[in-house]
């Protein structure tokens, strides 16, 4: 059976309507649409076809129809006309408190949640590919060293090292020079085992410290890379009855809290050329979100320095709006970084 123009139009109407109301939509409702001019009976015939084709389904006999996952998918892929809503306020709100990148992201997640009425998440960009700008070891105590590690993009990591033996200032200076001359300009992935060996040799009796520092460098950057996810608007899920039942809500909320699960969304690399990806219902790998839709966007501050923004809401989410807002935020983040 062909999916002709009229069927498409009807499907679109069903989906649009359901997105708004969350109620199954019946044939009479659709027939009232002026640009169709068909009776409810005709619509019913078409709807029976659409159901047979799997685009819509009936929650129970003699109820209206709701879109199936397949229906949503078609809508998202071909019929959606993205609303280019302005969220310029975003930029202002973002800049206000954005002294540090984590504040910025926290704030962005909040703005996103408030603007869409869905739950939002943002993962911090990953720094693996960033090059080391410099490393600095400083004594903080008789046998404690502070390692400050600065990476491109001015990401700063600190690490305290406990020493077995004391270090004099001269040795410390030498170590600093040694580390900087060899490591600067490299990314984590670039630091090879053989290089570590060479460095250790050159450090002589202090090879242990070099090992520790390099390990710290790796740790500092890798460590929470998959954990730094900021969420906001969790309580928005209560606005949608289909998600608000105890069991589902509880599972969803613990997924947000755990964050570990959310990293799965981040790891997938972003869909089409715009970096926007839409998961509908079971398309996501997160079990507790099978009644949700998830829209993610990948932002890239610098070559290889990517993070993910995501919106989690009911399947009947306003895809048009969400995609628009995500794209806008994505480009704003990227712009903001350039300055």
How many CB atoms within 10 Å of residue 283? 15
The C-alpha atoms of residue 44 and residue 50 are separated, in whole angstroms, by: 10
62 makes contact with DNA (CB under 7 A):
yes
Instruction: Between 25 and 252, name the residue whose CB sits nearer to a copy of itself.
Output: 252
Site for DNA in 211-230 (CB under 7 A): none
Min dist CB 305 to a copy of itself, Å, is: 17
Work out what residue 51 binds among DNA, a copy of itself, none; the CB cut-off runs from 5 to 8 Å by kind: DNA
Q: Which does 205 bind (CB under 5 to 8 A by kind): a copy of itself, DNA, none?
A: none
Residue with Cβ nearer DNA (44 or 70): 44
**Cβ-based nearer residue to a copy of itself, 77 or 224:** 224
Dist CA 304 CA 292 (whole Å): 29
User: Closer to a copy of itself at the Cβ: 114 or 196?
Assistant: 114
Of residues 111, 59, 131, 135, the one with CA closest to residue 305: 131
Query: CA 118, 121, 124 angle in degrees (round to 5)?
Result: 160
Q: Which does 45 bind (CB under 5 to 8 A by kind): a copy of itself, DNA, none?
A: DNA
Provide the minimum distance between the beta carbon of 57 and a copy of itself in the complex, in angstroms, as a whole number. 26
Chain centre distance of CA 97: 21
- Using CB under 7 A as the binding rule, whether residue 162 contacts DNA is answered as no
Distance CA 310, CA 328 (A): 13
Binding track over 5-34 against DNA, x by CB under 7 A: ------------------xxxxxxx-----
Q: How far is the CB of 289 from a copy of itself (least distance, A)?
A: 14
Q: Which does 3 bind (CB under 5 to 8 A by kind): a copy of itself, DNA, none?
A: none
Residue ranges in contact with a copy of itself by CB under 8 A = 99, 133-134, 136, 138, 140, 144, 146, 148, 150, 154, 156, 158, 160, 219, 231-235, 238, 244, 246, 249-251, 253-254, 257
* Of the candidates 216, 217, 199, 195, the residue with the CA atom closest to the CA atom of residue 207: 199
Whole-number Å distance between alpha carbons of 82 and 61? 34
Of positions 8, 38, 53, 253, contacts DNA by CB under 7 A: 38
> Would you count residue 39 as binding DNA (CB under 7 A)?
yes
Distance (Å, whole) CA 159 – CA 97: 26
Alpha helices in the chain (DSSP H): 5-21, 27-31, 40-53, 69-74, 88-96, 101-116, 169-183, 193-203, 207-222, 246-258, 263-267, 319-338
Rounded Cα–Cα distance for residues 56 and 249 (Å): 25
Contact with DNA (CB under 7 A): which of 61, 181, 194, 339?
Answer: 61
Q: Which is nearer to DNA, 7 or 131 (CB)?
A: 7
Beta bridge partners, 231, equal 121
Residues that bind DNA in the complex, under the rule CB under 7 A: 23-29, 37-42, 44-45, 47-48, 51, 58-65
């Amino acid at each position: 059976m062909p999916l002709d123009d009229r069927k498409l139009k009807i499907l679109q109407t069903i989906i649009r309507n359901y997105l708004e109301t969350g109620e199954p939509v019946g044939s009479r409702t659709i027939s009232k649409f002026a640009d169709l001019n068909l009776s409810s009976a005709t619509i019913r015939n078409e709807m029976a076809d659409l159901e047979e084709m799997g685009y819509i389904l009936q929650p129970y006999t003699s109820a209206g129809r709701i879109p199936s996952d397949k229906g949503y998918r078609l809508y998202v892929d071909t019929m959606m006309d993205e609303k280019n809503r302005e969220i310029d306020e975003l930029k202002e709100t973002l800049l206000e408190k954005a002294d540090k990148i984590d504040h910025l992201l926290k704030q962005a997640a909040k703005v996103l949640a408030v603007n869409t009425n869905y739950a939002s998440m943002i993962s911090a960009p990953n720094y693996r590919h960033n090059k080391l700008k410099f490393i600095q070891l400083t004594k903080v105590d008789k046998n404690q060293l502070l390692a400050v590690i600065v990476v491109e993009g001015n990401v700063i990591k600190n690490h305290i090292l406990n020493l077995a033996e004391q270090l004099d200032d001269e040795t410390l200076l030498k170590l600093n020079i040694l580390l900087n001359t060899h490591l600067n300009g490299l990314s984590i992935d670039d630091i090879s085992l053989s290089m570590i060996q060479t460095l250790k040799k050159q450090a002589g009796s202090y090879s242990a410290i070099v090992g520790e520092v390099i390990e710290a460098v790796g740790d500092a950057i890798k460590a929470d890379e998959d954990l730094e996810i900021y969420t906001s608007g969790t309580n928005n899920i209560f606005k949608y009855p289909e998600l608000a039942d105890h069991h589902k809500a509880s599972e969803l909320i613990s997924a947000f809290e755990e964050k570990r699960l959310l990293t799965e969304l981040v790891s997938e690399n972003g869909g089409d050329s715009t970096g926007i990806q839409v998961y509908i219902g079971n398309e996501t790998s997160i079990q507790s979100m099978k009644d949700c839709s998830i829209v993610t966007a990948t932002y890239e501050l610098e070559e290889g320095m990517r993070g993910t923004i995501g919106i989690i809401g009911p399947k009947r989410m306003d895809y048009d709006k969400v995609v628009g807002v995500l794209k806008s935020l994505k480009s704003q983040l990227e712009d903001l970084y350039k300055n």
